[in-house]
Structure 1
Amino acid sequence: MKMRIATLGATFVIAMSSPVAADPPPPESKFASAIQPFVENYCIECHGDDDPKGDRSFESLAAVISDDEVLVDYQDMLDQLNLSEMPPPEADQPNDQQRRIAIDALTDVIQQYHASRVETSNRSVIRRLNAREYRNTIRDLLDLDITIFDPTTRFPRDQRVEHLDNIGENLVTSSHLLTAYLNAAEQVIERAFYPLEKPPARTWSFRDSFRQQPEIDNVHRTSNRFKHMTLYDVVGADKPEGAYGPILAFAEGVPHDGVYEIRLRAEAVNRNHPYDHAFIGTDRDQPFRLGIVPGDATVGDLHLPQPIEPLLAELELADEPKWYTVRVPLDRGYTPRFTFRNGLMDSRNLWGKLVKKYPNMFPKGINGIVELRRNAIVHGKLPQIRIHEIEITGPILAQWPTQSQRVLFGDDFQRLAAGETIDEGTVRDHFRRFASLAYRRQASDAEVDRIMQMVEVRQRAGRSQVNAIADGFKTILCSPHFLFLDETSSDDGEPLSQHALASRISYFLWASMPDEKLRRLADEGKLSGDDAIRNQVRRLLGDPKSDAFVRGFLDSWLALNELGSAPPDRDTFRDFYRHDLGAAMRQETQMFFRHQLAENLPVENFIDSDFTFVNPALAALYGMQSPAEQSFALTAISDKRRGGLLGQASVLTVSANGIDTSPVVRGVWMLENFLGTPPSPPPPDVEPLDPDTRGAKTIRDQLSKHRDVATCYDCHRKIDPLGFALENYDPIGKWRNAYARNAKIDPSGELPDGKPFQDIRDLKRILLTRKSQFTRSMATKMLAYANGRLTVPGDRPDIEKIASSAKGTRDLVEAVVLSQPFRTK
């Protein structure tokens, strides 16, 4: 039997099982009786062999689907009819019965093709760990802190296709990468294995001589004689002055990797300053926030930004000197640096502006940046953080030997470190155990033999036993069994082995190796039933390590990996840098997605919702009431312009170019990432946006002229309306009613099926009626992300099954894992 689901006046037809089924009529008869007449009457006018629109001709459409190229034609035709986008509104229209007959015939022919074929093109190819998977696996395998440590810095950048960085056929291996693997293994084992003796804890104290950077040191030399460290700028300032507070007397950094306790006496100064609030820009009602980031003097000046500077800790300061204590991880050679998280913006320009705006507060006749800076600092009341004393103690070790050392050699580590000789059987046992963890399955005798042979060669060459054993562990990390995912099965199309399935699940949801529970299920052969797999999916999603899935999938699905690649103009969008809005935007979308998963909320919330997550900076951007605290909070939405992904600044910023917005760019983004129907590339002989724009006054005028070019019309009638609906959002997602020079924005449009809308709220109402299309698009991207391969036409029945079975967001994830393509090679 068949189940019909009405949508947009059309009908989706899904085949259902039936107790008794007669042989279906051959595809040729369906083609002759229903498909060919429909094509001749309603398609050939635009899609004939003579100048076909969209480069798609159906005049010679095959009567039988013989391969994927023909399948694509049939499937595209069916999709367009289901969405009522074809025939276009200006063309002759079939009546409802004619449309249903054509949809039924196309559906039957496509289903017969899928049922009869043996798919060979949708198999995952062998794929290596990408950089983020490598880092996470090293973290979990050896219990290493990778907050600062990154062994993949010398890896070539992973190639992306459709924003996915884990597609097997694109993860090529080169001689350069092999060299980088050797270097990474060296770093990892050195970090995990050594030192052999417990490093003693030390304390360093600093109470004066707080030089910071040349520009402000010239003032501080006489104003406070370097008795305290003073922070002015935020780290996002263009030419920061006083943005970073380094301890230059501790520039060499800590001597060992580990956790260090930092005690400091600090205060917030001039939070209630006497100046105009808008001019200074800091918030009098919020406590000053002190941040701690690492710095490496070998990389560059410690008073300037560096490539690796994660926020290690953040403190809210009182308006008087007080002692504060935090514990942070620091790698050998790194020194702590202090930052003003909600400080001034571009102090270098502010010095002069302050003196000129408030001349009565300063001496007369001041000129030049040096004197302006001096007077602003000495006589001004600028918001600032002062740090009077700092003590650093560590490393503070929770246990010795460390957990990393125990992973490698268990209780035998101290014997080895003391110089005792360990017997061969014990060494072999430790290699077998570690290799089994690293290979994500039981290591074989032959594999352990090869490692032992390498250790023997090293010892004969003069290496001590301890160093030769360390080389053995490095060998394991250079093995293809570690670097590549084992996705073997007994045959193509057969179920993955238990260990291969465990790895596919964990790398999908954690971007890392299976943990002990998942590995034990695979060892016992208990990872086969749907309930067992579903339970593991829920367990893994409930673990903080699933943040890797949230980040990785959103980067791949919404192209959030490109957020920041076109930085907004600094002069126009100062708040983007003052409040670190780029990070806040990304966090909003991640927390929104995480909430959807945790509560298994409906997928349509991604189209429109009555909630989001904001901090004060985002709330101000959106014109919403600010949360009581500085952190993010679940916030109800009453303004329908903000609900769902299309109202979130991350999406609106990544689909802009940093300077201005383009309906074409945003329209293409929506078709590609939101609706899963990417447009055809523009013809090579058409210049972008300029067939003849003389006299055009707005972007709508320009695009209207562009659509007058016949080769542009078909695609732009799909692209432009979606883009126009988003024109009320500026390049960082703030609402606007007009462009520059008060040119009014017109966000109205008409979709290809003839449905009109007035603005983004109207458009979202229409999209909610197409939620099945959106869910299918999301399922397609998620399946590709989960399997490490792009989907192919043969996956379509499984994608339809995944999408139709998923009511909630977690349901969608579970359906992907339970699907046939995920569980087979």
Structure 2
Amino acid sequence: MMWRLKCVMAGLTLGLVGTNASADSTPNSISSIVDPFIQNYCIECHSDDEPKGDRSFEELANDISNDNTLVDFQDILDQLNLSEMPPPESDQPSDQDRMQVIETLTTAISKYHASHQEHRAHSILRRLNAREYRNSVRDLLAIDVTMFDPTERFPRDQTVDHLDNIGDTLVTSSHLLSRYLDAADAVINRAIYPIEKPAKKTWSFRENFRQQPEIDNVHRRFNGFKHMTLYDVVGADKPEGAYGPILALADGVPFDGVYEIRFQAEALNRDHPYDDDLIGTDRGQPFRLGIVPGNRDDGELHMPQPNEPLLAEIELADQPSWYSVRVPLDRGYTPRFTFQNGLMDARNLWTKLVKTYPDQFEKGISGIVEYRNQAITRGKLPQIRIYEIEITGPLIDQWPTKSQHAVLGDDFETLARGESISKDQIRSRVESFASRAYRRPATDDEINQIVDVIDSRIAAGESAIDAIADGCKMVLCSPNFLYLENRTIDDAQHLSQHALANRLSYFLWSSTPDQTLRNLADTGRLDNDQVLRRQVNRMLADPKSEAMLHGFLDAWLALSDLGSAPPDRGDFRDFYRHDLGTAMRTETELFFRNQLDKNLPIDNFIDSDFTFVNTALANLYGVDAPLEPGFHRVQLSDRRRGGLLGQASVLTVSANGIDTSPVVRGVWMLENFLGTPPSPPPPDVQPLDPDTRGATSIRDQLSKHRDIATCFDCHRKIDPLGFALENYDPIGRWRDSYSKRTKIDASGELPDGKSFRDVRELKTILISRKAQFSRALTTKMLAYATGRLEVLSDRPAIEKIASSANGTRDLVIEVVLSEPFRTK
């Protein structure tokens, strides 16, 4: 089998194999070397009479003369490199014949690319997507977007291959244009106003802590609303006591800003007297209190809301103690308290508790109302009590604020007093703001148009500050802000300095270039290899690079779909009790961050001896939990968990929430992990044909499905990869059987004839094919970085990047230094 490995390693990096002088690339060499090979080993399946894979080679050209013939020969080369053709059951060529064809085609394809540089793909002018818009106004105007989302009414960005930044799909509609006007109005108003410094105020709350109708009736009799009591976690299906709102502050705070929240709280009954399996909390862990925002316009304050980021989390002592935190709150938002590691589905627990321990409660009761009353008044359930709350704010450390200074600079206080400033000062402010918004120096004509609008507003009686605000809104509605510049400077289509700064910034930060990048672009120093390397390293060290992790992992691993098919609540309670969905994403992002920061080998994505877990994920994986709260790097001795294929985020996003499917996971592997998506199923074939009804297992069903001729070619690629992951349930927990009687068989055979017994052996095979994985990863990253999908002319650059980048940070740097990234 060594010849297969040699073919993959030698041939997959296009351009390296082709250096053999014995491999000619003339039409004669294709006729004398490639054509006989195709006739002997390919034509039987790929002839005009129902060709396999819809590829017929009967009319194949004798040379590579255009892009159409390039596609044909590139497909042949790829299949030979992957050792997937000819299939194992067919006659096989000798190692020498196979290598000779690979070398011949590699050289011919390389020469075609070298002689057709003018056919390079161009990135179209593309607009900012929603997350880029949000990040851009955040950095341009120094505003907090924790609760404020100016894009919430934008139509959803279309995606292709899970990428949301591809220019072809980012269309602009009349509806979106109207939303841009609303967003610009909201953004500028938020940045400039109020023009008078808000006075700091303190609100105090003692007693009268009503929370939720279902439990208020009990609390009225039990404690007279003297304290707020939290029971449920926020992931409960029908939460009771999951949120502690301050109903006396239901309208929220009056101004955006930072507020200090002081409160007296107690963790009660952490060491409870009941069975652990019934209660479900971890008596060995301190109770964690969270603070999330709430807005009555978004629904009931005691229920989940669409925008409730965790603003703070505090470990509580088992006796009443005072705590203090500072959190951001937007106008109209009120803080709500949560029990981060509390009970799960307290509504059902009331009844279970009374029925399980009847001697501790009154006799002869029935109904949820009485069970709830008994469980709360007589029981000793784990709970958090809050006795007193003080809120002070807004706490303003700087006035004018950073946002006000970002728009009006040193002129803010003059304008706030209602005084005017000179036309030169207005022009200066407009030039500064527009140049930062446009990500390049604004032209005189552009500035003149904005200044004319401001002058007309002032002439109509508007105050100077309101008129300038209108001019800034005009800037944010301009195509110069909404679209990324892709201007070129020469016949080779190299990007201008500012266009390159844009591409680099939106690749690594999903946001506008900072002052350092703008200065380098202004002075013409950015387009230099060493400068670009330094900038990549600087930008990856900035917290704003978290946007790249989030955006790229969504695109590469389809993590944007995590949660779209939520697991069944009955079978997977821990998913909701411990907020495993958030933990899963966090693990993968920390893993990728570690790869970047330490420039670790790309192989680790396939298999590794470490990962990052918190207590909940450690329990799910069956590994030792961290000694301290939060996420920590842990060593893995069990290779079932190493690499991305052992991470719950990947395993959950490739399931449907109810069960697993080898087909779904196999397709996910081919599309996202290996970069070789299968063809769509024929329109006249059902996902599982009726003839499979007599099958006894999913393996039997798919075996019968593969008997259908039109399904065989794809399913022999899909199914083995999916079966290798069958030991993982829909949330990534390991299992050895589907039921007591049905043991899981995770073995399989790949199209090249290599077999494996389980996911561990599959990963060993994938490591031997890491060149294929590296190319798939490079292809996706280059598409994410440039905002366009791969075309044939990108192949030489992709192969060069994939073969030269051993470390993950090296990969990012090589993408930035590549010709496709630096050209239109």
- In the other structure, the counterpart of 2:40 is 41
AA aligned to 1:502 is A
- In the other structure, the counterpart of 2:179 is 180
- In the other structure, the counterpart of 1:391 is 390
Q: 1-side partners of 2:186 and 2:388: how far apart? A: 35
- In the other structure, the counterpart of 2:677 is 678
Deviation at 1:410, TM superposition (A): 1.1
Instruction: Please say if residues 716 and 750 of structure 2, whose CA atoms lie closer than 8 Å, have aligned partners that are also in contact.
Output: yes
Q: Give me the TM-score of the superposition, normalised by structure 1.
A: 0.98
Give the match's secondary structure for 1:391: strand
Q: Matches of residues 725-740 of structure 1 in structure 2 within 5 Å?
A: 725-740=724-739
Q: Determine if the alignment matches structure 1 residue 701 to structure 2 residue 700.
A: yes
Give the match's secondary structure for 1:44: coil
Instruction: Please say if residues 257 and 332 of structure 1, whose CA atoms lie closer than 8 Å, have aligned partners that are also in contact.
Output: yes
Q: Matches of residues 509-520 of structure 1 in structure 2 within 5 Å?
A: 509-520=508-519
Q: Deviations over 1:553-585 (max 9, x none)?
A: 000000000000000000000000000000000
Q: 2-side partners of 1:254 and 1:67: how far apart? A: 66
Deviation at 1:54, TM superposition (A): 1.3
Q: Deviations over 1:322-364 (max 9, x none)?
A: 0000000000000000000000000111110110011011010
Give the match's secondary structure for 2:691: coil
Instruction: Please say if residues 10 and 83 of structure 1, whose CA atoms lie closer than 8 Å, have aligned partners that are also in contact.
Output: no
CA 1:514–1:233: 2 relative to 1, 3 Å: same
What is the aligned residue count?
821
Give the match's secondary structure for 1:693: helix
Q: Determine if the alignment matches structure 1 residue 373 to structure 2 residue 376.
A: no
- In the other structure, the counterpart of 2:525 is 526
Q: Determine if the alignment matches structure 1 residue 594 to structure 2 residue 605.
A: no
Q: 2-side partners of 1:13 and 1:309: how far apart? A: 47
Instruction: Please say if residues 23 and 100 of structure 2, whose CA atoms lie closer than 8 Å, have aligned partners that are also in contact.
Output: no
Q: 1-side partners of 2:247 and 2:267: how far apart? A: 22
Q: Matches of residues 336-415 of structure 1 in structure 2 within 5 Å?
A: 336-415=335-414
Deviation at 1:9, TM superposition (A): 7.8
Q: Matches of residues 566-715 of structure 1 in structure 2 within 5 Å?
A: 566-715=565-714
Q: 1-side partners of 2:340 and 2:129: how far apart? A: 33
- In the other structure, the counterpart of 1:291 is 290
- In the other structure, the counterpart of 1:260 is 259
- In the other structure, the counterpart of 2:15 is 15
AA aligned to 1:86 is M
Q: Deviations over 1:423-478 (max 9, x none)?
A: 11101101101111111111111111000111122223332222111101111111
Deviation at 1:621, TM superposition (A): 0.2
Give the match's secondary structure for 1:325: strand
Q: Deviations over 1:20-72 (max 9, x none)?
A: x9999564212211111111100011111101111111121122334333222
- In the other structure, the counterpart of 1:744 is 743
Instruction: Please say if residues 5 and 11 of structure 1, whose CA atoms lie closer than 8 Å, have aligned partners that are also in contact.
Output: no
- In the other structure, the counterpart of 2:472 is 473
Q: 2-side partners of 1:346 and 1:16: how far apart? A: 60
Q: 1-side partners of 2:585 and 2:25: how far apart? A: 52
Q: 2-side partners of 1:625 and 1:364: how far apart? A: 44
Q: 2-side partners of 1:691 and 1:491: how far apart? A: 61
Q: 1-side partners of 2:114 and 2:701: how far apart? A: 48
Give the match's secondary structure for 2:298: coil
Alignment RMSD (CA, Å): 1.6
Q: Deviations over 1:70-116 (max 9, x none)?
A: 22221111111111111000001001011011111211221121122
AA aligned to 1:595 is N
Q: 1-side partners of 2:159 and 2:443: how far apart? A: 35
CA 1:497–1:696: 2 relative to 1, 3 Å: same
- In the other structure, the counterpart of 2:86 is 87
Instruction: Please say if residues 126 and 168 of structure 1, whose CA atoms lie closer than 8 Å, have aligned partners that are also in contact.
Output: yes
Give the match's secondary structure for 2:262: strand
Q: Deviations over 1:589-646 (max 9, x none)?
A: 0000000000000000000000000000000000000001220000000000000000
Q: 2-side partners of 1:424 and 1:368: how far apart? A: 75
Give the match's secondary structure for 1:158: coil
Deviation at 1:695, TM superposition (A): 2.1
AA aligned to 1:191 is R
Deviation at 1:119, TM superposition (A): 4.3
Instruction: Please say if residues 5 and 12 of structure 1, whose CA atoms lie closer than 8 Å, have aligned partners that are also in contact.
Output: no
- In the other structure, the counterpart of 1:454 is 453
Q: 2-side partners of 1:202 and 1:543: how far apart? A: 35
Q: Matches of residues 127-138 of structure 1 in structure 2 within 5 Å?
A: 127-138=126-137
Q: Matches of residues 174-253 of structure 1 in structure 2 within 5 Å?
A: 174-253=173-252
Instruction: Please say if residues 14 and 110 of structure 2, whose CA atoms lie closer than 8 Å, have aligned partners that are also in contact.
Output: no
Q: 2-side partners of 1:330 and 1:14: how far apart? A: 54
- In the other structure, the counterpart of 2:769 is 770
CA 1:492–1:712: 2 relative to 1, 3 Å: farther
Instruction: Please say if residues 6 and 12 of structure 1, whose CA atoms lie closer than 8 Å, have aligned partners that are also in contact.
Output: no
Deviation at 1:8, TM superposition (A): 4.8
Q: 1-side partners of 2:123 and 2:77: how far apart? A: 27
- In the other structure, the counterpart of 1:809 is 808
- In the other structure, the counterpart of 2:537 is 538
Identity rate, percent: 68
Give the match's secondary structure for 2:682: coil
AA aligned to 1:167 is I
Deviation at 1:16, TM superposition (A): 6.0
- In the other structure, the counterpart of 2:793 is 794
Q: Determine if the alignment matches structure 1 residue 142 to structure 2 residue 141.
A: yes
Q: 2-side partners of 1:311 and 1:652: how far apart? A: 25
CA 1:10–1:700: 2 relative to 1, 3 Å: farther
Instruction: Please say if residues 208 and 227 of structure 1, whose CA atoms lie closer than 8 Å, have aligned partners that are also in contact.
Output: yes
Q: Matches of residues 481-520 of structure 1 in structure 2 within 5 Å?
A: 481-491=480-490, 493-520=492-519
CA 1:18–1:365: 2 relative to 1, 3 Å: closer
Give the match's secondary structure for 1:719: helix
AA aligned to 2:706 is R
Give the match's secondary structure for 1:631: coil
Instruction: Please say if residues 83 and 752 of structure 2, whose CA atoms lie closer than 8 Å, have aligned partners that are also in contact.
Output: yes
CA 1:517–1:223: 2 relative to 1, 3 Å: same
AA aligned to 1:543 is D
- In the other structure, the counterpart of 1:113 is 112
Q: Deviations over 1:145-193 (max 9, x none)?
A: 1111100011110000000000011000011111000100000010000
AA aligned to 1:6 is K
AA aligned to 1:174 is S
Give the match's secondary structure for 1:46: coil
Extract unaligned runs of 5+ from structure 1: none
Q: Give me the TM-score of the superposition, normalised by structure 2.
A: 0.98
Q: 1-side partners of 2:788 and 2:602: how far apart? A: 24
Q: 2-side partners of 1:419 and 1:720: how far apart? A: 72
Deviation at 1:767, TM superposition (A): 0.5
Give the match's secondary structure for 1:302: coil
Q: 1-side partners of 2:23 and 2:291: how far apart? A: 70
Query: Which has the higher mean CA deviation after the structures are superposed, 108-117 or 347-356?
Result: 108-117
CA 1:315–1:222: 2 relative to 1, 3 Å: same
Q: 1-side partners of 2:610 and 2:25: how far apart? A: 51
AA aligned to 1:620 is N
Q: 2-side partners of 1:26 and 1:817: how far apart? A: 31
Give the match's secondary structure for 2:238: coil
Q: Determine if the alignment matches structure 1 residue 6 to structure 2 residue 6.
A: yes
CA 1:215–1:16: 2 relative to 1, 3 Å: closer
Deviation at 1:11, TM superposition (A): 4.0
Give the match's secondary structure for 2:591: helix
Give the match's secondary structure for 1:45: coil
AA aligned to 1:68 is D
